[in-house]
Structure 1
Amino acid sequence: MKMIINGEKVNSSDEKVIQVLNPATQEVLDTVPSATPEDIQKAIQAAQGGKKVWGQTPLYERSTILKKYVKLLEEHKSELSKLECSETGKIIKECEGEVGTAAKIFTGFIERANHLCGEVMPDCQSECGKDLIFTRREPLGVIACIVPFNYPVELFFHKVAPALVMGNAVIIKPATDNPLTAIRLVELLLEAGVPKGAAQIVTGRGSVVGNHLIESHNINAVSLTGSTEVGIEVAERSSKYLHNVFLELGGNDAMIVLEDADIDFAVEETILGRITNTGQTCCATKRVIISNKVKEEFTEKLIKRLEKVKRGNPADYSTDIGCLISERAAIDIEKQVKHTIEQGAKCVYGGTRNKAFFEPAVLVDVTPDMDIAKDMEIFGPAIPIIGFDTEEEAIEIANAPIYGLHCGIVTKNTKTAINIASKIQVGNVVINGTGNYRHTDMAFGGTKMTGIGREGVQYTLEEMSNVKSYILKNIFN
């Protein structure tokens, strides 16, 4: 497949390509261009024209075009799901759910934008009593949307949908490992009627594409989902031009299981929180913090439940867990698990690797001073179990990392859960469930080094637009 710059499908200027592999089979699916600085500059120049055309298109016309796009998404659901499955290693059932959710996300942003009103200032100041002051929301301009590998469809739309509906032009940088679905999504945008300069996609290494986009004074904002390390670099590089920066970054989220919890339920929520997408989710439950009084029972039941999880071909509808995005990613997780064992933990289940497939690992005897209990985020199916004796101890362990995205609390006592939730330093807390949860309207994001800003239908439209005040002096007698 090719990049799309100014409505044209193009190769890189030096004809270099990057192979895209099926991580489950290691077969080459396709190639994509490895963009050069010259290619990126062409995309930026095209976006400058696109932002004028699209930004001056009335909202009701933009909405009509984007509704056509939603219809195309629904018509191509099967194609997009299969393509995502093949290049990501995510099981087909989850891919279908993601594409279906993406269409709903886009619809939500369109509907919200059509009811996003400005404000009229009250005449409460005598010196302004004859003036009429009102606000409008106008486009920021050009937004660089840097999309991660783990949810290449859903997170594409959490960035692209609000940007486009508010009249911005977008330049999309997909993940290097799985850019094919994103390219197809842009093709459909153009088919729906989005102007050629308003939606472009540039493929290649982040060190080239991402950096050149971010360091351009012709970019007005950057929206990134990625690691905290990359987020810090993006913020530093963007500071030269004071770009608006929206960052959804790392996490080492906890699920706190109290003594009175339904253990069978807690096990199922752990499976949901850690096995979904092979554990490659920013808000996945990456640490189980559990009362020592029920820790052994939980561990035994968790292992028995994991034995029923079907591994295998991601394209098979009976498969419960697929592979990681690449063999390289699986090797990294293998090293992290071995590091945790070297620090004193024991792996009582799984932990083996076969190319890009990694057997879910259950780690016990994990103590709060270990790296996995603090700042080491394992982006895969490893389940460290950390015991506690008091609620205060559980809160301290949960708050230890530099991150603060989500947290889950499992207990039959709602009052206790709410009180614990108020002391957890995160952006969202799920009561009686895994923190691996996202509603399209909620304010998704975290505290500390988990990022800057919030994503969600109720919030992102405002972040991706500029509030302008219009003042009509002496308009009243």
Structure 2
Amino acid sequence: MKMLIGGQKRDSIDGKVINIFNPANGELIDTVPNSSTKDLDLLLEHSLKGKKLWGGTPLHERSKILLNFIDKFSLHIDELAELLCRETGKNIKEAKLEVGLVPVIFRRFLEGANHMYGITLPDSQPGGERDLIFTRREPLGTILCIIPFNFPASTYAYKVAPALATGNSVIVKPPSDNPLTLIRMSELLTECGVPGDALQIVTGSGSVVGKYLVGSPHIDAVSLTGSTEVGVETAKQAASNLHRVFLELGGNDAMIVYEDGDINLAVQEAIMARTTNCGQICIATKRFIVQNSIKDEFTRKLVDKLNSLKIGDPMDPSCDMGCLINEAAALKIKEQIEHTLKQGAKCVLGGNIINKAFFEPTVLADVDASMDIAQDMEVFGPVFPVIGFDTLEEAVEIHNASVYGLNGGIITKDTGKAMKTAYQLECGTVVLNGNGRYRHPDIAFGGYKMSGIGREGVSSTLEELTQVKTIVMKGILG
């Protein structure tokens, strides 16, 4: 596949390419251009035209184009899900669910954009009785959207839909391992009428493409989902031009399981949170804080259930788990497990790479709150560290000990205890009687502390991707 620059499918100027492999079997799927700074200069030149053209397009016309995309996209869900499965290693059932969310997300943001209103200020200032003061929202300009590998299609929708709906020009930097689905989605958007200067997608390494574009004075904001390390560096680079930054970053989310909770529900929620996409999710529950009186029973039931999971070909709908994004990801998880075992934990299930990018569900017992995995070491894979506690205060302390704070979960039948705990947790979303792997298009999704800056969702993103202009009609009221 090729990049989209200025409405044209383009190779890189120097002809370099990146190979895209199926992580499940090593098959070469396709190649994409490995862009240079010359390609990026051309891209930025087109984006300057695009933000004027698309920003000057009336909302009702933008709406018609995006509604056309929503309708057309629905005809391509199977095609895109299969492509996503092949380039990501994600189970085909999960791929279809993710791709199926795209038109839903686009529609919600479009509806929100059509109901963004300005305000009229009251005549509360002495001497201003004859003035009319009102506001309107205008686009920021060009938004650089940097997309992660784990949920590329839905993350694309969460970033591109509000940006386009509010009249911004968009540049998409897809993940290097699996950019194909996003290129195809961008092609569909331009086929439906989004100007080629207003929506562009450029492939290449993050160290070249991301760094160059973030540092450019010709963009106006950066919306990035990725690691905290990359987010910190991005914020530093963006600061020189005072770009707005919206960062959805790492997490080491926890689920607190109280002794009065439904233990079978807790096990079910734990597995759903940690095995979906092989645990490669920023808001996947990565720490299981379980009251000591039921910790052994929880661990035993968790091991029994995980033993029944089927791991295999991502294209086989009978399989419960596919593979990780690449072999390097599997090796990193293996190293993190070995590190935790050296700190004193015990592996009671799994712990091994099955075949290159496939990894066994792994349960670690005897994990205490002082270990790295219980605090700031984010494991991006199907690993279940079980940490014991005795009191509510202790559970909250363990939860909040991490530098991260995305989502949290609480299992208990005591509503008062649940609310007391939820109010004390340092994270952006708390799910009661469920795991924290929860996202709704409307909520203000994002985290505390090192988990990011800003919020993403219909209730917040549309405002963040626009700027307020105040117009004063002095003396107009006679």
Q: How does 1:72-221 map to 2 (within 5 A)?
A: 72-221=72-221
Q: Following the alignment from structure 1 to structure 2, what is the Cα–Cα distance between the partners of residues 209 and 71?
A: 32
Other-structure match for 2:430: 429
1:394-442 Cα shifts (integer Å, max 9, x gaps): 0000000101101000000011000001000001100000000001101
- The Cα offsets for residues 206-250 of structure 1, whole Å up to 9 and x where unpaired, read as 000000100100000000000000000000000000000000000
Q: How many residues align?
A: 477
Q: Which runs of structure 1 show a deviation greater than 6 angstroms over 4 or more consecutive aligned residues? A: none
Query: In the alignment, which residue of structure 2 is the partner of 1:334?
Result: 334
Partner residue, 1:447: 448
Q: Aligned residue for 1:48?
A: 48
Alignment of 1:357-372 (within 5 A): 357-372=358-373
For residue 100 of structure 1, report the CA deviation from its aligned partner. 1.1
Show CA shifts across 1:38-84 (max 9, x none): 10111111010011110000001000000001112101000000000
Specify the SS of the correspondent of 1:429: strand
**Cα offsets for 1:269-304 (capped at 9, x unmatched):** 001110111101111100000000000000110011
Deviation at 1:307, TM superposition (A): 1.2
Matched, 1:268 2:268: yes
Alignment of 1:9-28 (within 5 A): 9-28=9-28
Aligned: 1:396 with 2:393: no
* SS of residue in 2 equivalent to 1:128: coil
Q: Secondary structure at the match of 1:293?
A: helix
Matches within 5 A, 1:57-72: 57-72=57-72
2:252 match: 252
The whole-number CA distance in structure 2 between the counterparts of 1:397 and 1:61 is 51
In structure 1, the residue matched to 2:36 is: 36
Shift of 1:351: 1.1
Letter in structure 2 aligned against 1:137? R
Q: Secondary structure at the match of 1:25?
A: coil
Per the alignment, in what secondary structure is the counterpart of residue 64 of structure 1?
helix
SS at match of 2:206: coil
After TM superposition, give the deviation of residue 446 of structure 1 in Å.
0.5
Q: Which residue of 1 aligns with 2:419?
A: 418
* TM-superposed deviation, 1:311: 0.7
- Match of 1:231? 231
Identity %: 57
One-letter identity of the residue aligned with 2:319: T
Q: Which amino acid aligns with 2:352?
A: T
Q: 2:439, 2:2 → 1: CA distance?
A: 32
Give the Cα–Cα distance (whole angstroms) in 2 for the partners of residues 78 and 431 of structure 1.
Answer: 34
Give the aligned residue type for 1:344. Answer: G
Deviation at 1:458, TM superposition (A): 1.3
Partner residue of 1:296? 296
- Structure 2 residue identity aligned to 1:466: Q
Q: Which amino acid aligns with 2:328?
A: R
Residue ranges of structure 2 left out of the alignment (5+ in a row): none
How big is the shift at 1:476?
0.5
- Secondary structure of the residue that 1:246 maps to in structure 2? strand
In the aligned structure 2, how far is the partner of 1:148 from the partner of 1:450? 15
Partner AA of 1:409 in structure 2:
I
Deviation of 1:129 (Å): 1.3
Amino acid paired to 2:166: M
- Counterpart residue type for residue 363 of structure 1: L
Consecutive unaligned residues of structure 1, counting only runs of 5 or more, are none
Per-residue CA deviation, residues 319-351 of structure 1 (Å, 9 max, x unaligned), is 111100111111111110111011110110011
- Measure, in 1, the Cα distance between the counterparts of 2:336 and 2:131: 63
Q: Residue type matched to 2:53 in 1?
A: V
One-letter code aligned to 1:218: H
Read off the aligned partner of 1:362 and give its amino acid letter: V
Partner of 2:459: 458
Task: For residue 6 of structure 1, report the CA deviation from its aligned partner.
Answer: 0.3
Tell me the CA shift for residue 128 of structure 1: 1.4
Distance 1:186 1:456 in 2: 21
RMSD (CA atoms): 0.6
Q: CA-to-partner distance for each residue in 1:160-199, whole Å, 9 max, x for gaps?
A: 0000000000010000000000100110010000011000
**How far does residue 452 in structure 1 lie from its aligned partner after superposition?**
0.4
In structure 2, give the amino acid aligned to 1:138: E
CA shift, 1:352, in A, is 0.8
2:322 corresponds to 1:322: yes
- Secondary structure at the residue paired with 1:218? coil
Distance 2:129 2:246 in 1: 38
Secondary structure at 2:468 match in 1: strand
State the Cα distance separating 1:372 from its structure 2 match: 0.2
